[in-house]
Amino acid sequence: MKGNSYFSRKLHSLVGIIPLGGFFIVHALTNFQAFERGPEGFQNGVKLINSLPLLPVLEFILIYIPLLFHGIYGLYVAFQSNSNLGRFKYGRNWAFTAQRITGVITFVFVFWHVYQTRFQVYIGNISHEELGSTMHKIATDPLIFVLYLIGVLAATFHFANGLWAFLISWGITVGERAQRISSKICMGVFVVVAVLFILSLVGFRGNEFKEVADAVMAVRSIL
């Protein structure tokens, strides 16, 4: 019973919700500040996160390690599946395939997105205060904006449909009715979180973020 695939799959499932799913929701809410409250609101969100104690430790234990484990093991799980949508055109079978495809898209997207943002802070190219203007540059480039939309929608579907699967994997929703109702709730979660992320991206396109960027650039050029 130790170290077999039952145990690793349970861990994979758990980690998808705690901590990754939790972080995902917090991330959506922080970003949404860019739409709701503009550059200052977003900046406050970033500050709030940066004021957490032991932040580097938290980042590794709650984000990077779980993400790498879930992501790499998830690629393996996806590789072990066939898609038989041609023969079985059922909604749930469609979601099964989509769960795997969106997992792969999320994998690529997350690495790219972290490289463009958090990694640039690590290597000192930008500061935490400049994340808003970095996002402005990303969201105003039409191609990158579209790629971000795809990435964000894929990740959100993966999370919402994963929540539905999680409830089954842990034996929380057992009966057919429970699973049907939870699938409706999870699709509601998909819509709400997707709207939060899309509006955030729209928010980052705003000129206020450019002005902040310009101001930072001006300070830079003086220094």
Partner 1 sequence: MAESTVASKTVTFIITRQDKPDSEAYTETFSIPYRPNMNVISALMEIQRNPVTAEGKKTTPVVWDSNCLEEVCGACSMVINGKPRQACSALVDQLEQPIRLQPMRTFPVVRDLVINRERMFAALKKVKAWIPIDGTYDLGPGPRMAESKRQWAYELSKCMTCGVCLEACPNVNDRNSFIGPAAISQVRLFNAHPTGEMNQDERLAALMEDGGIEGCGNSQNCVRSCPKGIPLTTSIAAMNRDTTKLLFKKWLGV
Binding status of residue 154 toward ligand HEM by CB under 6 A: no
Q: Is 75 in the site for ligand HEM (CB under 6 A)?
A: yes
Residue 163 binds to ligand HEM (criterion: CB under 6 A): yes
φ/ψ (deg, to 5) at 19: -95, -15
Given the rule CB under 8 A, which residues bind partner 1? 1, 4-7, 9-10, 77, 79-84, 86-88, 90, 92-93, 96-97, 99, 164-165, 168-176, 179
Neighbours of 218 (CB within 10 A): 10
Question: Per DSSP, which regions of the chain are E strands?
Answer: none
Q: Which is nearer to partner 1, 63 or 77 (CB)?
A: 77
Choose one: 47-55, 156-164, 191-199, 209-217; the region binding ligand HEM (CB under 6 A). Answer: 156-164
Span interacting with ligand HEM, options 18-26, 142-150, 172-180, 212-220, rule CB under 6 A: 18-26
Cα distance between the two ends of the chain: 61
Please identify, using beta-carbon distances, which residue of 49 and 168 lies nearer to ligand HEM: 168
Three-state DSSP state, 83: coil
Q: How far is the CB of 133 from partner 1 (least distance, A)?
A: 42
Residue 5 vs 50, nearer CB to ligand HEM: 5
97 interacts with, out of partner 1, ligand HEM, none, CB within 5 to 8 A per kind: partner 1
**Dist CA 128 CA 132 (whole Å):** 8
